[in-house]
Structure 1
């Protein structure tokens, strides 16, 4: 066959998009580089089920890889008369640079399943190949007649998990009775009499519900913030009241102390005058003053203990009794 009837691109490995190195053919008839297909199948080793990157036909166990002698010879001839090694290296270097530029991708971007090394963003997902494809790997679906019939959708991550296992169609509907995702064929069979809506419609309903819940949460949040603000304001008032009580108590204690000093002077006068009556009167006053001092010290201690109490309710219940004026007996 004349090489003019074929282009180099038609011989390229579908994975690396370059002329195949050590070309091998798998049971479905598609050919790849030995290294490319081994690398692609390495991620399927834990499952034990291997698939073709193009037609998605599955094999179990892993089929043996046989060298495609005819393809290898055709590629060798194409290498001799096609692109020079310098041109090939230049093209691969440019492609590598593009991959590095695209490597800084935002979260949530669907990546190409066929890219080796650094993956690039997928433009479409193929429901037949069950793969997400970047601009480069999507080209065969636009040029090859056999691939043009494949159904392409917007890039979808974990595509295999979103395909109906029974009918092999994308699960684009949600069954509200069964609480599960179904394909369009399921809505006419197992879920025929169920309320099935599109995933978009279900999302809109969930968004309305979530919006209502969010609004309620915001209202409760504002209410709790106001309660906290009021509580802090009340605590500041209590602290100011406590400080005032402390100052008043200290003033009263000072006055009592001065009264005692005056009493001592009076006692000295009484002793000097040897007046028993005066002595008895002075002693009575002294006893009352001492009793009042003891009572006020006791009250001061109770106030200090109350100030350190963390029980707000107990504090408020006790504060009024502590703040009531003290009935001081008339002093001489």
Structure 2
């Protein structure tokens, strides 16, 4: 059937009839014809709209799938990080406990070592005291014997000086008046009262050196303790990355502990 021109009019009885160019329907009112034509045109293009929407839906569906895969990949990465972090926390706690126990054991050994050295020093002092006192007591005994002999000779001289017989006095004077023989002991000089002052000074210097070493080592230990973090912040590669939240990674020490 040849298409009619829109709004073409024909005579139908006494009424003027308007034909639709999109369909075989006839209308007697021109306004209704115009509405009908618009409806026909909308129905005609609805199929085109459906095809266009389907194609766009396919494209958007691809984008949705790609976005969903990114979310799933992100979920897997975060779940892996969550598992690694939990293991790192457990490893960190075990490592901290081991460090506490080792530190306590080592410091106990240091204390025992110092106590042992202290006992050795006290034993040295006691041995020296015993030796010095024993020798001094022997010297005291010899001095007492020598003094007693000198007193006896002095008493004899005193008694001899009162002899009235001049001949006897002169005859005996040479032997009696002989000077005292030198004793078996040489002259004795007592040390000043600083017997163990050098020992006290040496022990005090040892204490100061130990304190200095302890302070220096404590600084190193404190720094090492502060480095025992579970997480460390990675350096941003660009300024744009630095404006975002910092990237956190597991510390190498924790990963090493996990491997062990």
Report the TM range for the smaller structure's normalisation.
0.3 to 0.5
More helix by share: 2
Report the TM-score when normalising by structure 1. Answer: 0.30
Report the TM-score when normalising by structure 2. Answer: 0.37
Whose RCO is larger (CA < 8 A, sep 6+)? 2
